[in-house]
Structure 1
Amino acid sequence: MSEIPAAADHAVAVRPKDLRFWLMLLSLCMALFLSALEFTGVATALPTIAADLHGEGFVWVGSAYALASSAILPMTGALAQTFGRRHSFLASIALFTIGSAICGAAKNMGMLIGARTIQGLGGGGIMSLTTIIIGDMVPLHERGLYAGVCFGFTWSLGAAIGAVVGGSLANIGQWRWLFYLNLPLCGLSGGLAVVLLNLPTPPGTWRNKLSQMDWIGNFLVIAATCSITIALTFGGINFPWSSVHILAPLVIGLVGLIFFIVYDAIWAQYPLVPFSILANRTSFSGQNFITPMTMVAIIYYLPVYFQACKDADPISSAVRSFGFALVGPASIVGGVSVKILKRYRPQLWIAWALQIIGSGLLTTLKVDTSTAATVGFCLLYGAGAGIIYSVAIFPVQAPLPVTQTAHPLAFYSFMRVFAGVWGVTIGGAILQNGLLHRLPEEFLNQFPGGVAIAYSVIPQIRDLPQPLKHEVQIAFAESLSVVWKVLVGLSGLGLVSSWLMRGLPLHTVTDKEWDPSKEVSQS
């Protein structure tokens, strides 16, 4: 396939990077940092939170956030295109702030899950709008470096600090401050955005803009993602996988996604996902789904290994997960390599190999595996995931004209976040089902809620008498090994999918319609 023309009448040459450019990038990085900080902080503190709130629906604390994020993401492209990047970005920060405040004040698991849903709407918007705005600021052939800094380095730094902060606060019983700390940071990020993001706003009345939204498409994708997540969350735990309670929402959700694609391709006047993305094998690459799925699963369930099998407290488990910090430097290396070589496929092939090896080594984790070995395994996986994180954006946009930025990048973000839903829920389902069959009956009988409550008392495992304690730890290690094995298979599938994409030239211009140097419209 030859490169799609860059639509010369809409193209603008690259301008020098002035102070305003770097300040705009700073405001975007700060908002993304908050999202990453929250994500890993909650994952690390989750056992303590579940025990404190006496909740059996612990999986929903992560899934609700990921579900809300994925449901809103396809809409963010249309919101950015219709209402402008600036207003949409500020609304996302506002939602994240409100959700954080309610999370901190949560009195029960239901309230926390509801607040995490609001937080997820804001977090999804932050991720998507950051990607779109950087796409407006930087041409594709340079974008790897900035994507590596903003998404790879900033995200991994926030994730690493979030894990330590979450673990520290959980360790002293103050997990609520994990959410309250967001409030001043959100205020600072929002203030910077108000001052610095002087971005173009499309003209037109609100009524006209609302009429340009694909409401039917939005309803279909939200309903479908919710239905699938419900099935994945309750399958094998509350109901057998063969139960109609699981099969019905799963089938309805999958059919709904297919109908959404067909509707947007044939009938939608303002489609959420333009057909040019779905019809192109390079743009519609499975690797944008698989890496986030495996990475989120590891982020959520590696702390479980440390806390259940190694007697680690939340802060210690966060420190032992620092191998993932290599995601940041690796993403920058990946982005720079694309800028220099003008190619993206070889980097993806190498990255997938590293990810397969790293996740494969995780399958060998036992109760007595050394911390040094575990950190080394995480370093290998993190190197591969980091490269993919910054390089995967190129096959998405290389076949498309520069005028198609918002919708493809919103869909790109949707694929990543929806993958997180699958990562959390599939990992949780495998873990819970494994524990159901491996935990000693003596241990299970102590908790009327079964395995879900057993998971919520992970901080108490260290106080169990022997040999019960060792048996429980072995059950966790063996159940988690199944999770890691599934991730190896998924990574192999990602490698295969990368063989199908084509190597294409990269755009050297941006779309003048969204040039950040333009004056802001007051319409």
Structure 2
Amino acid sequence: MASIDTRSSQHDEKSASVVTTVEDGEVSPGGDALTGPTTRKGVRFWLIFVAICVSLFLSALEYTAVSVALPTIVHDLEGDDFVWVPSAYALASTALLPTTGGLAEIFGRRLSMLMSLGLFALGSALCGAAQNMNWLIAARAVQGAGGGGILAITSIIISDLVPLRERAIYNGFIGLVWAVACALGPVAGGGFTERGQWRWLFYLNLPLSGFAAVLVVAFLRLKTPAGSLREKLGRMDWIGNALITSSSSACVIGLTWGGVKYPWSSIHVLAPLVIGIAGIAFFFVYEALWAKNPLIPFTLVSNRTSLSGYIQTFIGPIICIAAIYFSPVYFQACRNAGPVRSGVEMFGYGLVVGPMLIATGVSIARTKAYRAQLWAAWGFTMLAMGLCSTLRVDTPLARAIGVWVLLGVGSGIYFAATYFPVLAPLPVAENAHALAFFAFCRSFAGVWGVTIGTAVLQTQLTKKLPPAFVAQFPGGVSIAYSIIPAIPTLPEPLQSEVKAAFAESVAVIWQVMIGIAGIGFLASLFMKGLPLHTQVDQKWGLEDTAKAQDGDVKDAAELEKGGNASM
């Protein structure tokens, strides 16, 4: 990281400026705008924490609820492009995530969060009112733009207020909120769906979004950058925004069409994929060489620890999202489970993720280390996927449910821990950019999880379903997906043959996921165990609440100059 000064300096406990040298150019730097470590958290902080937890709960609850309801929704709307329902959400959130980081850096956190909540609420209302698949897909894109922003800004706000060394515990609580939402989502989705009220999955977001917005307006009063609107707009990296938005969109379109709407060898799939991948590559070159205010500074990936963290951040959600979307296929298609029951049978995953997030946060906070936890995470994940690949129609239900507990252990650990190798080598002033790219990797990975699972399911069902059954669907097995709710009504022996085909096809998805988890494990071997920051960036502190530890109010100008105050 040639652009960062690595000169050593002595740490003065009363100083807000720290620069720590770390071997091989990976540094844990500070600056004049930093405050030293603190464990004091006032009422204002906890109210802000509640606001962002409520906002995050919205996104996670809806995302997992839709996965269980999807077969019924597609059936009711008489659609066939089922893969676009999750992919449209992921497309919008992925394409706009780097932009979200830039907006949060220029316009402030509160305005950016309110904009994201507004988009999420608008998209939810449109989803609930959808009369056909095209309407639903377009509405999901609007909803995804807001949901992705909520995820990114939540991480950014926590990084503004809590030093990295203390952040593991708070991330654990945020993870618990996410896990509770993931556990409740499938059950809520199944409950509304079985009563023919799946639209309320989306309408329910409206009052929750309003409540979250009230909390944000009332309590999320972080400092906002000075300058006129014209000056702020001038600091946006418009070329970089255009490049990453268009390129990631092209990739998602190609991945979504591949094997479902068009063959993988079709120009309709290859053209957007090639253009998108080339565009993303050029985006990174542009950001490194020419951008004045880069969305993703090259320093974010110029050391092996952060790069390893980003790769692991990308790999983990591929497996998690595939599990969320395709385990209900197994339970509903192979075991005659309704939407509610399939959600309950996934309970083991959601209930374990939360405690593991907190346990991992506690272990990182106490040991100040993160590598052993991540190695264990990939071990549990590969074991879980191996066991999942053995599930068949006649597998005992207890075993079919239990394997998801192991996956929950692995997921809980890596969702809590990948954050730390990403941020440990970077200056805290890069938090917004680093975390926006972090969220981008997670969101983009979700697209790959759905796409890889869909491609495998499509290919395997084409081979394994009875030809007479497939012949009933001129649109191919993408239409057959919508028939999942009707499988229990098929006559024998056709019903058993269809169930066996689905079970064997889904098993291949988990076999592919074993290899993908192996990539994550290999990436984890390259990270170093670096010290965790004890500072936060003071320019994003709470408005008018900075105080010295003796309780005296200090002038904000003194804080800007690195006075002895701490939050």
TM-score range, shorter chain: over 0.9
Alpha-carbon distance in structure 2 between the residues aligned to 1:94 and 1:303: 30
Q: How far apart are residue 29 of structure 1 and its match?
A: 0.5
Q: Deviations over 1:264-302 (max 9, x none)?
A: 011111111011012122112210100011100100000
Query: Equivalent residues in 2 for 1:438-449 (5 A)?
Result: 438-449=464-475
Alignment pair present for 1:428 and 2:454: yes
CA distance in 2, matches of 1:279, 1:478: 43
- Correspondent of 2:434 among 389, 408, 414: 408
Show the counterpart of 1:84.
Answer: 108
Query: What is the CA-CA distance between 1:428 and the residue it aligns to?
Result: 1.0
Q: Does 1:307 align with 2:321?
A: no
Q: Name which of structure 1's ranges 445-454 and 350-359 shifts more when overlaid on structure 2.
A: 445-454
Greater Cα radius of gyration, structure 1 or 2: 2
User: Could you say if the C-alpha distance between residues 5 and 148 of structure 1 is closer, same or farther in structure 2, counting changes exceeding 3 Å?
Assistant: closer
Q: Does 1:197 pair with 2:220? A: yes
CA distance in 2, matches of 1:484, 1:15: 43
Contact 1:214 1:271 in 2 (8 A): yes
Match of 2:378 in 1: 352
2:303 paired residue number: 280
Q: 1:512 aligns with which of 530, 534, 538?
A: 538
Q: Aligned pairs, how many? A: 520
Find the counterpart in structure 2 of residue 324 from structure 1. 349
Give distance in 1, aligned partners of 2:40 and 2:331: 48
Give yes or no for the alignment of 1:453 onto 2:476. no
CA distance in structure 2 between the partners assigned to 1:433 and 1:221 by the alignment:
31
Aligned residue in 1 for 2:156: 132
Matches for 1:48-197 after TM superposition, within 5 Å: 48-150=72-174, 152-197=175-220
Partner SS, residue 429 of structure 2: coil
2:215 aligned partner, one-letter code? L
SS at match of 2:304: coil
d(CA) in 2 for partners of 1:226 and 1:48?
27
The one-letter amino acid of 1:107's match is Q
Question: Partner residue of 1:335?
Answer: 361
Unpaired runs of at least 5, structure 2:
1-21, 547-555, 557-567
CA distance in 2, matches of 1:337, 1:516: 29
Q: Does 1:462 align with 2:488?
A: yes
Q: Is the Cα–Cα contact under 8 Å of residues 328 and 342 in structure 2 kept in the other structure?
A: yes
Residue 236 of structure 1 pairs with residue 259 of structure 2: yes
Counterpart of 2:337 in structure 1: which amino acid? Answer: A
CA distance in 2, matches of 1:314, 1:225: 32
Query: Following the alignment from structure 1 to structure 2, what is the Cα–Cα distance between the partners of residues 72 and 226?
Result: 10
Q: Is the Cα–Cα contact under 8 Å of residues 199 and 519 in structure 1 kept in the other structure?
A: no
Opposite residue 208 of structure 1, the aligned amino acid is E
Q: Which moved further from structure 2: 118-127 or 19-28?
A: 19-28
Q: Which runs of 4+ in 1 moved over 4 A?
A: 517-521
Partner-residue secondary structure (3-state), 1:403: helix
For 1:232-271, what aligned pairs fall within 5 Å after superposition? 232-271=255-294
Residues 103-132 of structure 1 deviation map (CA, whole Å, 9 limit, x = unaligned): 000000000000000000000000000000
Q: Which amino acid aligns with 2:86?
A: G
Cα drift, residue 448 of structure 1 = 2.2
Give 1:4 shift. Answer: 2.3
Moved more, 444-453 or 357-366: 444-453
Q: List per-residue Cα deviations over 1:235-254 (Å, max 9, x = no partner).
A: 12222222222211111111
Q: Counterpart of 2:381 in structure 1: which amino acid?
A: Q
- Residue 391 of structure 2 corresponds to 365
What's the CA shift for 1:517? 4.7
Whole-Å separation in 1 of the counterparts to 2:272 and 2:123: 27
Moved more, 243-252 or 311-320: 243-252
What is the one-letter code of the residue matched to 1:322? Answer: F
Q: CA deviation at 1:69?
A: 0.6
Partner of 1:471: 497
Q: Residue 509 of structure 1: CA displacement? A: 1.1
Q: 2:250 aligns with which of 227, 247, 251?
A: 227
Counterpart contact for 1:76–1:410, Cα < 8 Å? yes
Aligned equivalents of 1:58, 1:207: Cα separation in 2? 42
Partner in structure 1 of residue 416 of structure 2: 390
Report the residue type matching 1:52 in the other structure: D
Aligned twin of 2:407: 381
Task: Give the residue type in structure 2 aligned to 1:85.
Answer: R
Mean CA deviation greater in 171-180 or 6-15: 6-15
What do the CA deviations read for 1:298-332 (whole angstroms, capped 9, x no partner)?
A: 00000010000000000000000011121111011
Say what the alpha-carbon RMSD is for the aligned residues.
Answer: 1.3
Q: Which residue identity is paired with 1:92?
A: S
Partners of 2:329 and 2:246 in 1: CA distance: 31
CA distance in 1, matches of 2:545, 2:102: 21
Aligned with 1:271: secondary structure?
coil
**Alpha-carbon distance in structure 2 between the residues aligned to 1:307 and 1:516:** 49
Contact kept, 8 Å, 2:60 with 2:182, in 1: the verdict is yes
Aligned partners of 1:309 and 1:367 also within 8 Å: yes
In the alignment, the residues of structure 1 paired with residue 462 and residue 222 of structure 2 have an alpha-carbon distance, to the nearest angstrom, of: 53
Q: 2:238 aligns with which of 215, 225, 240?
A: 215
3-state SS of paired residue (2:336): coil
Shift of 1:5: 4.7
Amino acid of the residue matched to residue 511 of structure 1?
Answer: D
How far apart, in 1, do the equivalents of 2:235 and 2:480 lie?
A: 49
Q: Which residue identity is paired with 1:500? A: F
Q: Is the 8 A contact 2:28 2:531 kept in 1?
A: no
Q: Aligned partners of 1:125, 1:516: CA distance in 2, in Å? A: 21
Q: Which letter does structure 2 place at the counterpart of 1:106?
A: A
SS in structure 1 of the partner of residue 29 of structure 2 = coil
Secondary structure (helix, strand or coil) at the match of 1:283 reads helix
More displaced stretch, 45-54 vs 272-281: 272-281
What is the percentage of aligned positions where both structures have the same residue?
A: 53
Name which structure has the greater RCO, CA cutoff 8 Å, separation 6+.
Answer: 1
Whole-Å Cα distance in 1 between the matches of residues 542 and 97 of structure 2? 22
Q: Distance in 2 between matches of 1:65 and 1:43?
A: 12
Q: Which amino acid aligns with 1:77?
A: G
Deviation at 1:7, TM superposition (A): 2.3
How far 1:435 moved relative to its partner?
A: 0.9
Q: 2:54 aligns with which of 18, 25, 30?
A: 30
Distance 2:419 2:139 in 1: 31
Post-superposition Cα deviations, 1:342-367, rounded to whole Å, max 9, x if no partner, equal 11101100111011101111000101
- Whether the 8 Å CA contact 1:233–1:426 is kept in 2: the answer is no
Does the aligned pair in 2 maintain the 1:43–1:163 contact within 8 Å?
A: yes
Q: Select between 428-437 and 110-119 the one with higher mean Cα deviation.
A: 428-437
Give the CA deviation at 1:518.
4.2
Counterparts of 1:45 and 1:237, CA distance in 2: 20
2:378 counterpart letter in structure 1: W
Partners of 1:315 and 1:87 lie apart in 2 by 37
Which AA in structure 2 matches 1:90?
L
TM-score of the superposed pair, with normalisation by structure 1: 0.98
